[in-house]
Amino acid sequence: MDAELLYASAGFILFVLGIWSLLLHRLLIRKLIALNIMGSGVFHLLIATAEHHGEPADPVPHALVLTGIVVAVSATALALSFGRALRGDGDD
Amino acid sequence: MRNSLEPKPQRSAALLVVVLLILLAGLLQWVYFTHAATAPGAGLTALAQAELPRSGVTNPVTAVLLNYRALDTLLELSVLLTAMLGIWSLGPATPGYQQAGAVFAGLAAWVVPLLILSGGYLLWIGAKAPGGAFQAGALLAAAGVIQRLGGDPRASLPNESAQRWLAIAGIGIFALVGLATLVAGRGFLDYPLAWAGWLILLIETFATLTIATLLTAAYVGGQPPPSQTTATPGMHRMQAPDRKA
Amino acid sequence: MTATLALLIFDVLMLLTLLGLAVATLSSRDPRRAAILFIAFGLWLSLVWARLGAPDVALAEAAIGAGLGGALILSAARRARASSQAKARAPTPPERTPPV
């Protein structure tokens, strides 16, 4: 079995695990963690497809993932602020 | 206790979701594996490596981020800025933590300068080895987070107007460089070869400051309080209960 | 041959740990526990990416994804716990600022 395919299939499994938790859990913070893990699955798939044996890896997916990580964290921060504002009591 | 432990979902719905998701996972794996067997292979690797001598840097990822696809990075900084504006528009920041004890303060006194130093190193080394503006900005933001955990309510960020300037500095310099290349008769962000390395370093330096400011502000989680710019953290702490009440 | 087999076993162990951490993160009902496991997951993911020849992305994931994202989620989990404890015992005010 090819190691690259093994890594890629782990990306799919992470994505599906994230959807599972996103659909079944009610707490906002758990949904956010689930979303982050879904994103991690996608990033992992991109990294796994960028890797080739022996040759240097493809830098374009790496740059995409680098950008994606930063956007994911800022989206998480925004969502947490929304959650705090939705609960209505300002600071907790 | 509604928030700490939640009720379990309905059993039949949970089962249906699990079955559908297993099917989805199987479908995705099947599509990927049948496609990967026939895929042409190396993708853009050869092209990126071939253009590397003309990019001004020798780290291919930095070349993609700040030369080939520099416009994407510019827009990504705008996404960060938009997220921070959204966070600021949702209200003031939480008052912060209580002043840290001697052990944590001593730790912070060691760790924060080290983080700033390694941030500068990562920024410089990003041209030829793994590193770059995002990692350096993240390290600076981590220094800010440590300061906030140690009791500084604004996480070592300057006052609000300086924060606004820092937050747009990277985007502004990026756009100005792009406009300058336009005026010089080249494409937007199409650097001349002789200057490419220095222009990338200039953009990255300001982008690092912007990323650090935006990420720290996102951790602080709200607009900084308008007054008390010179207040010590201890005074802040004593005033914090008023805001809560 | 044995070298490739050893590498394959190494890869499988890396991925099994990664998936195990993901399952543990997603199925823990206490938000704070989930946040801490999420940080562990992010750090392990950055190790996996370093194995896959992406050191740039591994650095970014360790610093931004696991570090800052984890700190954000952890402080939100702390707030959720403080507010739920405040609801549980309403007369006493919630402990706003626990020592770090």
- Statement: A3-87 belongs to CATH 3.90.1640.10: no
Pairwise CA distance, residues B217 & B85, whole Å: 10
CB contact under 8 A, C52 and A72: no
Size of interface B-C (CB pairs under 8 A): 81
Residues 6+ apart with CB under 8 A from B134: A66, A69, A70, B211, C60, C64
- Do A10 and B19 meet the contact criterion of CB atoms below 8 Å apart? no
pLDDT band at B40 (very low <50, low <70, confident <90, very high): low
Q: Model confidence over B157-195: pLDDT tens digits?
A: 888 888 999 999 999 999 999 999 999 888 888 888 888
Pairwise CA distance, residues B164 & B213, whole Å: 9
- Please give the pLDDT value at position A5: 81
Q: Is B223 helix (H, G, I), strand (E, B) or coil?
A: strand
Phi, psi of A14 (to 5 degrees): -60, -45
Strand partners, B223: B92
Q: Model confidence over A57-90: pLDDT tens digits?
A: 888 899 999 999 999 999 999 999 998 888 765 4
Region B22-50: mean pLDDT is 81
CB contact under 8 A, B60 and A50: no
Over 80: is that where the pLDDT of B244 sits?
Answer: no
Most A-contacting residue of C57, C59, C68 (CB-CB within 10 A), to test interface: C57
Alpha helices by DSSP H, chain B: 11-38, 45-51, 60-63, 70-89, 102-125, 133-149, 160-183, 196-220, 233-244
Radius of gyration of chain A (CA): 16
Nearest chain C alpha carbon to B96: C97
Pairwise CA distance, residues B61 & B52, whole Å: 10
Model ipTM? 0.88
Question: Least CB-CB distance to A63: which of B69, B80, B95?
Answer: B69
Strand partners, B92: B223
Nearest chain A alpha carbon to B219: A77
For chain A, which residues make up each domain, given as ranges? 3-87
Which long-range CB contacts under 8 A does B26-35 form with residues at least 24 apart? B28/A12, B28/A15, B28/A16, B29/A9, B29/A12, B32/A8, B32/A9, B32/A12, B33/A5
Q: Model confidence over C26-79: pLDDT tens digits?
A: 999 889 999 999 999 999 999 999 998 899 999 999 999 999 999 999 988 888
Pairwise CA distance, residues C22 & A22, whole Å: 13
Region C81-92: mean pLDDT is 65
Distance from CA of C11 to the nearest CA of A (A): 7
Region B28-56: mean pLDDT is 80
CA–CA distance from C76 to each of B85, B127, C34, C35 (Å)?
A: 19, 36, 12, 9
Region A20-48: mean pLDDT is 92
Q: How many CB atoms lie within 10 A of CB B16?
A: 12
- Please give the pLDDT value at position C98: 54
Most C-contacting residue of A17, A65, A67, A73 (CB-CB within 10 A), to test interface: A73
Region B42-62: mean pLDDT is 84
Decide if B104 touches C, using CB distance below 8 A.
Answer: yes
Q: Could you identify the residue written with the tokens 């042409």?
A: B40
